Amino acid sequence: MTTMQELPRVVEAWTVDDLDGLPENDGLRYELIDGRVLVSPSPRPKHQIVSGELFLLLHGACPPELKVFYAPLDWQPNQRNSLIPDLLVVAKDDIVDGPLTKPLRLAVEILSPSTRLYDTKVKFAKYAEGGVGSYWIVDPDGGPSIVAYDLVDGDYVEVARTTGDEEVRLERPYPVTVTPSALLG
């Protein structure tokens, strides 16, 4: 396994080009926020169950001009930021062979103990700054629950919040009904 001492070089302010030198398939997720590398462990089974169920739900309702993806897939809005949402929806016209650079229609983060603060604060701000149209935060341990935000005039506005067996109809990026407890498979 690669250790931090084996990273290719020490860089004051990383760019997306520097990420190419990091190890692949080591079970870690490397993201870049304002030139700083953040490393998180691979997800746990509960996280993956929720991710899979939500992917199937989003995929089943997805209109033909959009595409649903699951992690890992980099979204790099600029040279100093590279984020990996758990799920994302993009316009098919924005899909390229490489990292995505255009604003996402939807980013979904599934909370885990090691990423909770990062997902609810740092990524929340970066997705808004990068023009991501909608942001959903799913908490498999919080009821389970989902909180959905839509970007309005550059800021996220909460449009829905529900827990457990309560279903919620979300309209952006396309209509879909989500029941948090059903995401636990």
Tell me which residue range forms the domain holding 166: 43-184
Residue 173 is part of a domain; what is its CATH number? 3.90.1570.10
State how far the alpha carbon of 80 is from the alpha carbons of 14, 33, 40, 72, 126, in Å. Answer: 7, 6, 18, 18, 11
- From first to last of its 185 residues, the chain has per-residue pLDDT tens of 444 444 444 456 889 988 887 877 677 788 899 999 888 888 889 999 999 999 999 999 999 999 999 999 999 999 999 999 999 999 999 999 989 999 999 999 999 888 888 899 999 999 999 999 999 999 999 789 999 999 999 999 999 999 999 999 999 999 999 999 999 98
Residue 30 in domain = no
In a domain, residue 13? The reply is: no
> Cβ contacts of residue 114 below 8 Å, gap of 6+?
40, 41
> Which residue(s) pair with 6 in the sheet?
none
Asked if residue 151 is part of any domain, the answer here is yes
The answer to whether 111 and 138 are in contact (CB under 8 A) is yes
With respect to residue 107, please indicate whether it lies within any of the assigned structural domains. yes
**CA–CA distances in Å: residue 9 to residues 12, 13, 19, 163:** 10, 12, 11, 45
Mapping DSSP to helix (H, G, I), strand (E, B) and coil, where does residue 4 land? helix
For residues 164 and 123, what is the distance between their CA atoms, to the nearest angstrom?
Answer: 24
Instruction: Please report whether residue 140 resides in a domain.
Output: yes
What is the Cα 133 distance to its own chain's centre? Answer: 13
Asked if residue 28 is part of any domain, the answer here is no
147 falls within a domain: yes
Q: Identify the pLDDT of residue 37.
A: 87
Number of structural domains (the chain) is: 1
The answer to whether 86 and 51 have CB atoms below 8 angstroms apart is yes
- What one-letter code names the amino acid at 120? T
Q: What pLDDT shows up at residue 185?
A: 81
Q: What is the CA radius of gyration of the chain?
A: 16
Q: Identify whether 126 is part of a domain.
A: yes
Which pLDDT score is estimated for 125?
96
